[in-house]
Structure 1
Amino acid sequence: MNVLCGYNVNIDSVYRISGTEISELLDTFQAAEILEKIENPPGIIISESDFVAGLAYCMKEGSGAEWLVFEKSVFEFLKSRYFGKSIVRMGGNAGIMANALSQLGASRVVPNVAVPSKTQISLFSKKAVYLPEASNSFKRDGGTTPEENNSNLSSSQEPIHFVFDFSEGEVFSLYGTEVKVPRENRFIATCDHLNLRLFVSPAFEQYALQHACEFDGVLISGFHLLIETYPDGSTYKTILDNTLSRLRNWKARNDKLRIHLEFGHFASKEIANSVFLRFAKLSDSLGMNEDELAIFYNLHGVPGEGLHNMEAEAIADAAFRLASRNGLKKIFIHTREFVLTVFKPNFTSNSEPDSENPVNVRTSGEVDNPENPENPESPALQREAGEKLEALDFGVRCAAAYAASGRLEGREFVEEEASKLQESAFGREQLEAFLKAFNGKTLGQGAYAFRKGYVFCILPTLLSRYPVTTVGLGDTLAAGIFLRGLELDVQT
């Protein structure tokens, strides 16, 4: 399988900071300035004191946050002080998914790379990732970078996300007051102005356009990084228009191209809704976690409590409503405990989707007819549900193996690592609740149900008791599901 991956690829510089270190750092700044910024967090970083206040605030509250860095001197401060002693790894949804696809057996994976620095390139998988170069004529005609803003951060600056992990129980001194960190979390100082615009490199733009007919799928992500207004006065709406136009051009050259859009944590509900509504019908599938699903309450109407608590009935209901009301082909929701997909099957149903109530009213004779594809025992329904569950299972195993080992070394490695892990007990409980709520049927380790023109499938995840990493699991799972889904589409 050949796959294009856009749009956000960056470098993650991960450093675990101790209470002693933050205490020493705080002592180098004026107490009044830091305390005022802790009381009224600026939310962005234009000075070193903004960074220190943000980090201290998150450690004090045990909360997580990501603030953008808008000043080159702060970038240099962070890089010189922490980069050399950090764990440097691939960052960005597109970068993580590209590496996962490469390691899992894709034939060719072409990612969009905003700044192909030596460090960034070194973080890519060597198996199937291909980084094209743009011709001189294409460089002149397209792919221009946005104007640099007043921050003096260069548009060619390496996109680095400085991730500061801190542990529960760490103690530090906040100008004479002892503070104990209430829970483990992280503070991220992000120096990444090109990915905030979904910048497309000339090399990627040219290659994708010229070779669209050779690709099987496109994984797109990074939309959660968009902001409402940029320093040059432009808005996210123009970026969405350009992205939509680009995807349509690819589809026009290859109508078999499968597009999957993976969501992220949006700071703006307005932007999240715009992305969903603009890309819903063009995309062949959408992916998100339960918290990201909750942000679309205005579109599905399911209260957030059940979604945040990972209740299968609530999540299935919300996903169904999103799908049926917006003409989605497929949506899948990944949680820590289970994965669930809602999709429009290939067989034709005479019933129309009911966005308010997913119960399909049929006479007993119609439902019991084994030739009726809506009958849970029908071969057509079982075949389609089985394929989707197989793709979900592959994604679950990939994410579990990665969590347990921190590596993906091919499919045999995935199977070996996954076989050592335990199924989520809570996920199994939710599968049982799903069966009762939707009159579903078990199939292998998962279950499925048919309601009003859509098929629901659910599968518990596999959990590692002592995970090596928890970063990138959703992206790894999404890449695995997408890749296996493409393979099964070709086989059928």
Structure 2
Amino acid sequence: MVFSDKLISLGTLFTVAAVLYSIYMRDYNELDARLVNVINGLISVEEQQMKLSPKVAVGYGACVDLRVDGRELMNHFDGLTPKHHDFINELFELQESYAYYFKHGAAAERFTTNSSLFDELVASAERASGSRFVIGGNAAVMAMRMHLEGCSVLLGATLTDRHLHAIPDEIKVVGGPISRDDIHLVLEYKSGETWGPYTAPRANRFIIHNDFHNPRVKSLNEFGRQLENFKPDVFVVSGLQLMDNYKYTEGDDVRSEVLESIVDQMLMIPRSTKIHFEMASYTEEELLNSVQKTIVPYSDSLGMNEQELANLHSLYTYGNVSVVTDSTPRVAAVLDQMRSIFWEIRSRSKFVPGHKTLTRIHVHTLAFQAIMVDNVHGSWKQPDVAAAKASLTA
């Protein structure tokens, strides 16, 4: 009887396991089918894209990204306290900052004031397994993508001859050659990855740099000379986050002068030319305030991720910046913030002489794309196609 009961129990166990497995496979297959339907739907929308070849001017800057698995370079130690630092001067500050952003799954980019430390880290990263060099910088990456989409592109950037060859010949790069590339060290991590006692809630990266040319926007003057003759249909402004917490040896006026020169370039082109400002990670309140007072009022369109959106929303709503935010926000929360800053920017910008009316905001996340447009005052074509293409590309 006992043996029979054991057989029944064992049989029941197998039955339950089989039922659970069939439920799992059914749910998995249903999810898989839904994903296929979503992807096919996005592709069908993407295929409606009008085949155009606009002229796009993209500023400012380029760099060489050295990508490496963060765990290959960063050692966790007992007693490490996660902490935000505005800039990096010592190794422990890097470790504390990395821990802080890692546990929140938040992206960050920090200037390293200690050149010797940075060079040592780069040398270590080069020896790490799987590390690789790629052309980086928002402007350069966007320029290359737009070239792939058939655009005629003018890029304001400085690169050595060695890495200039990585840019397609059809992209006109202006800004002059440099003797030493600006390397950005990109420490990458995956969702669910552990580092010490911390688990990353989502995939992201922590970037450090010891950049010399990009915070000074060295390509600015040459780019300006070419801009008017190029006659772009769209002007993309980006890369300004590299001025964040940067220590200018020439004095604090350098940054203000650069921003004023960029505004001059935004004003020198016809008002019919669309201007898009691509945000990035800012933690210095003074710089972000300057950007929202100088660059934003002359922009038709803004682009940012969910953390940058929350940061900008915090600035407009509470007058301060938020260092980290929810790394997986709800769609409804993102849309609420988009609507809020959309109207806040428009109401403030109308008091700025020569301002443009903001008519588009694009928020790009790993999970979804959200594009808000005002087609009454703007003329943005096919935002649905743009959202679909961005989703498939991401």
TM-score, normalised to structure 1, is 0.55
What is residue 199 of structure 2 aligned with on the other side? 181
Describe the shift of the 1:398–1:96 C-alpha distance in structure 2 as closer, same or farther (beyond 3 A).
Answer: farther
1:192 corresponds in structure 2 to 211
Q: 1:10 matched to which residue of 2?
A: 63
Residue 464 of structure 1 aligns with which residue? none
Once the two structures are TM-superposed, the CA of residue 47 in structure 1 deviates from its matched residue by 4.4
User: 1:437 is matched with which residue?
Assistant: none
Instruction: Give the conservation status (yes or no) of the 8 Å contact 1:290–1:310.
Output: no
Q: Deviations over 1:67-101 (max 9, x none)?
A: 32223322332332223642322322111110111
The answer to whether 1:118 aligns with 2:162 is yes
- Between the aligned residues of both structures, percent identity stands at 22
What SS does structure 2 have at the residue aligned with 1:45? coil
Distance 1:291 1:82 in 2: 27
**Structure 1 residue 163: Cα displacement:** 1.0
The residue type paired with residue 66 of structure 1 is: E
- Summarize deviations over 1:133-179 as a string: whole Å, max 9, x none: 76xxxx9xxxxxxxxxxxxxxx853121111113455556xxxxx63
Gaps of 5+ in 1: 140-154, 173-177, 347-383, 404-492
Q: Is the contact made by 1:68 and 1:191 (CA closer than 8 Å) also made in structure 2?
A: yes
**Contact 1:5/1:220 (8 A) holds in 2:** yes
2:362 is the counterpart of 1:333 = yes
Aligned partner letter, 1:158: D
Q: Distance in 2 between matches of 1:300 and 1:180?
A: 31
> 1:104 deviation in Å?
0.4
Post-superposition shift, 1:5?
A: 0.6
- Residue in 1 aligned with 2:282? 266
- In the alignment, what sits opposite 2:264? 245
Query: Which amino acid in 2 is paired with 1:258?
Result: K
2:304 matched to which residue of 1?
288
- Where does 1:470-485 land on structure 2 (aligned, <5 Å)? none
Contact 1:266–1:272 (CA under 8 A) maintained in structure 2: yes
Q: For residue 465 of structure 1, what is the aligned residue in structure 2?
A: none
Answering whether residue 236 of structure 2 is matched by residue 219 of structure 1, we say yes
Query: Take 2:221 and 2:347, find their aligned partners in 1: how far apart are those partners?
Result: 37
The Cα offsets for residues 322-370 of structure 1, whole Å up to 9 and x where unpaired, read as 2244232413132433423243625xxxxxxxxxxxxxxxxxxxxxxxx
Q: After alignment, is 5-14 or 72-81 more displaced?
A: 72-81
| CA distance in 2: counterparts of 1:4 and 1:116, whole angstroms | 21
Other-structure match for 2:118: 75
Deviations 1:35-59 (A, max 9, x none): 57x4666553334555455446655
Q: Which residue of 2 aligns with 1:489?
A: none
In structure 1, the partner of 2:389 is 398
Q: Which amino acid aligns with 1:266?
A: Y
Q: Offset of 1:274 from its aligned partner?
A: 2.4
Amino acid at match of 2:248: Y
Q: What residue in structure 1 maps to residue 12 of structure 2?
A: none
CA deviation vs aligned residue, 1:241-297 (integer Å, no higher than 9, x gap) = 12212333x32xx45433222222221333223222223443333333444343244
RMSD: 3.7
Q: Does 1:96 align with 2:127?
A: no
Structure 1 residues 227 and 17: CA distance shift in structure 2, 3 A: closer
Where do 5+ consecutive residues of structure 2 fail to align? 1-53, 351-356
Aligned residues: 320
Tell me, yes or no, if the aligned pair for 2:259 and 2:295 is still in contact at 8 Å: no
Partner in structure 2 of residue 309 of structure 1: 330
Give, as a single letter, the amino acid of the residue that structure 2 aligns with 1:246.
Q
Change in Cα spacing, 1:59 to 1:344, as seen in structure 2 (3 Å) is closer
- Which residue does 2:249 correspond to in 1? 231
In 1, are the aligned partners of 2:63 and 2:135 still within 8 Å (CA)?
A: yes
Distance 1:239 1:93, change over 3 A: same
- Residue 402 to residue 259, structure 1, CA distance change in 2 (3 Å): same
Higher mean C-alpha deviation, range 238-247 or range 47-56: 47-56
2:157–2:175 CA contact under 8 A, matched in 1: no
Report the AA paired with residue 181 of structure 1: T
**What is the match of residue 346 of structure 2?**
323
- Report the CA distance shift for 1:40/1:130 in structure 2 as closer, same or farther (over 3 A): closer
The CA distance in 2 between the partners of 1:338 and 1:167, in whole Å, is: 21
| Whole-angstrom distance in 2 between the partners of 1:296 and 1:91 | 27
